[in-house]
């Protein structure tokens, strides 16, 4: 392995270091291939395993073949320390991923993302003193890796706290300006650090200050963002972690890290843009957070709420031909996915066609509803995307809205003053009858009235979605 193969740009290279680079190439290809397979339902599971294989390969060859600048390999004692640390992370990661409830998936993705961001930030922080003096590029990537990794870490922790209900939304008018000032301060400080002629060791105060400011920025950046915007934020934080890893890749000149990181960054960015499109808002608008506060929308014409009894709902559903269920975050909170599936099998048994209409941003992360309903064994042919179901909505006998609000709010079409004006919605109001299951008359996350609830064909069933569905199922069974 230590046999010298030749010399390039004044440095000799051995069989070992050549094999290491080859393994990185293979790992990078496996990441690409895995991600490609992950984007098709048939091959997704294999894709995930291929990508994981690439990761294991890169880890093993690094451990065995990596040499420092003096040509020294990783000493055996260090190998044991590394294996022990990896062992701890593996056991913890495995247990958490097996035990977590499917309803808690958005929190979990945020938590793992936070931990990836923290790892990137720590690596950048520890490598900073080794950055080459006067080498703008090496200092730049280190500082960028530190800032992006730290923001991804603290931002994801706040997102985790919010999704888990531990942290509330905090939106104060001054926060936009505060965040802007913080961001400008960070950029100025980072710029100063990069162009400063002092050796990195003398600039440690600045690097610690940058770390602290980045931690703070991650917190104040995610805090004001409302629950309905969570899918955008989670995808964005995901992209950031990828970019942070890529920056660390530049520190080490490691192509597998660079390619893997940028790939994740690009994928995360696409999801972010997709989510923004589904809400008809710009990314900037989500980040600055114009939502929620601007409730200057029409309030006057509220009209009457009409409730429906469980037995009437049971009769209505049993005599329908075509029913569409529109799930939202309320379904996830109540963990009502299994009982929703029980309702749809029961109705199918009576010859009723039941489909689920999935809005792209329903729930708290991209694809949230799909995961939940898959857990409850709802066949995915029954899950219909918004654009496919909307033309068929006038033929639907009953639309059941379970714990969704803004994604069916007709104000998106009619009310230019509404914060969600222009957002594509599922046209529940086009159905012949609408049943809305809701905990109470509270407004949605966007804090806007929903005129769908006041329409003549709309009937309300108040209560926890799971309890209500349970009672409804019993009622239909007895019918």
Q: Which is nearer to another protein, 274 or 310 (CB)?
A: 274
Nearest-approach distance from CB 140 to another protein, in angstroms: 10
Beta-carbon contacts of 388 under 8 Å, excluding residues fewer than 6 positions away, are: none
Whole-angstrom Cα distance, residue 174 to residue 35? 41
Contact 441, 305 (CB under 8 A): yes
Say how far apart CA 390 and CA 129 lie, in whole Å. Answer: 58
The two three-digit tokens of residue 130, written as one number? 């080794």
In the complex with another protein, the residue whose CB is nearer, 365 or 436, is: 365
Residue 477 vs residues 311, 318, 342, 376: alpha-carbon distances, Å: 11, 10, 11, 20
Of the two residues 115 and 430, which places its CB atom closer to another protein in the complex? Answer: 115
Q: Coil, strand or helix: which one is 326?
A: strand
Closer Cβ to another protein, 307 or 387, answer by number: 387
Closest CB 473 distance from another protein, rounded Å:
20
**Rounded Cα gap, residues 216 and 155, in angstroms:** 9
**What is the helix (H) or strand (E) element at residue 164, kind and residue range?**
none
- Residues 426, 296: Cα–Cα separation, whole Å: 24
Cα–Cα distance measured from residue 264 to residue 479, given in angstroms and rounded to the nearest whole number: 52
100: its two tokens: 């977590």
Least distance from another protein to the Cβ atom of residue 327, Å = 13
Task: Report the phi/psi class of residue 431: left, alpha or beta, with left for phi > 0 and alpha for psi in -120 to 50.
Answer: beta
Judge residue 292's burial from the number of C-beta atoms within 10 Å of its C-beta, 0-12 exposed, 13-18 middle, 19 or more buried. Answer: buried
Min dist CB 440 to another protein, Å, is 29
Is the CB of residue 417 less than 8 Å from the CB of residue 297? yes
Taking the complex as a whole, how short is the minimal distance between the CB of residue 298 and another protein, in angstroms? Answer: 32
Catalytic residues: 406
Question: Looking at beta carbons only, is 85 or 290 nearer to another protein?
Answer: 85
Nearest CA among 168, 271, 180, 292 for reference residue 223 = 168
SS3 355: strand
Nearer to another protein, 112 or 454 (CB): 112
CB 460 to another protein: min, Å: 28
- CA dist., res. 250 & res. 69, Å (int): 16
Minimum distance between the CB of residue 373 and another protein, rounded to whole angstroms? 10
Cβ proximity to another protein: between 137 and 282 the closer is 137
């Amino acid at each position: 392995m230590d046999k010298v193969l030749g010399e390039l740009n004044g440095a000799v290279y051995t069989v070992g270091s050549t094999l290491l680079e080859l393994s990185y190439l293979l790992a990078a290809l496996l990441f690409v291939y895995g991600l490609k397979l992950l984007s098709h339902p048939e091959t997704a599971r294999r894709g995930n395993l291929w990508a994981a294989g690439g990761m294991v390969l890169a880890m093993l060859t690094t451990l065995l073949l990596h040499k420092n600048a003096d040509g020294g390999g990783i000493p055996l004692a260090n190998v044991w320390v590394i294996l022990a640390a990896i062992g701890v992370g593996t056991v913890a990661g495995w247990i958490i991923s097996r035990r977590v409830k499917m309803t808690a998936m958005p929190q979990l993705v945020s938590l793992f993302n936070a931990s990836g961001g923290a790892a990137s930030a720590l690596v950048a922080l520890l490598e900073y003193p080794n950055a080459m003096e006067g080498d703008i590029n090496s200092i730049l990537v280190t500082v960028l890796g530190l800032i992006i990794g730290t923001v991804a870490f603290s931002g994801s922790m706040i997102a985790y706290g919010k999704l888990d209900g531990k942290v509330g939304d905090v939106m104060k008018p001054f926060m936009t300006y505060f965040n802007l000032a913080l961001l400008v301060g960070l950029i100025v400080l980072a710029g100063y650090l990069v162009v400063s002629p002092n050796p990195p060791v003398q600039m440690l105060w600045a690097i610690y200050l940058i770390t602290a400011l980045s931690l703070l920025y991650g917190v104040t950046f995610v805090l004001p963002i409302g629950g309905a915007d969570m899918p955008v934020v989670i995808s964005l934080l995901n992209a950031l972690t990828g970019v942070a890893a890529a920056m660390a890749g530049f520190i080490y000149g490691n192509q597998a890290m660079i390619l893997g990181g940028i790939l994740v960054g690009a994928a995360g960015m696409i999801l972010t843009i997709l989510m923004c499109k589904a809400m008809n808002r710009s990314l900037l608008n989500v980040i600055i957070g114009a939502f929620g506060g601007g409730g200057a929308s029409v309030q006057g014409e509220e009209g009457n709420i009409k409730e429906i009894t469980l037995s009437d709902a049971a009769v209505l559903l049993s005599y329908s031909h075509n029913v569409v269920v529109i799930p939202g975050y309320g379904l996830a909170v109540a963990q009502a996915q299994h009982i929703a599936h029980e309702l749809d099998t029961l109705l199918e048994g009576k010859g009723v066609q039941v489909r689920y209409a999935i809005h792209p941003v329903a729930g708290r992360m991209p694809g949230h509803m799909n995961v939940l309903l898959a857990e409850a064994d709802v066949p995915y042919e029954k899950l219909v995307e918004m654009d496919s179901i909307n033309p068929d909505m006038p033929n639907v006998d009953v639309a059941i809205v379970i714990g969704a609000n803004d994604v069916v709010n007709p104000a998106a079409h009619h009310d230019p003053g509404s914060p969600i004006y222009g957002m594509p919605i599922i046209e529940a109001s086009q159905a012949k009858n609408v049943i809305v299951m809701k905990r109470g008359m509270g407004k949605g996350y966007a804090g806007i009235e929903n005129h769908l609830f006041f329409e003549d064909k709309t009937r309300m069933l108040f209560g926890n979605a799971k309890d209500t569905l349970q009672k409804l199922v019993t009622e239909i069974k007895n019918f």
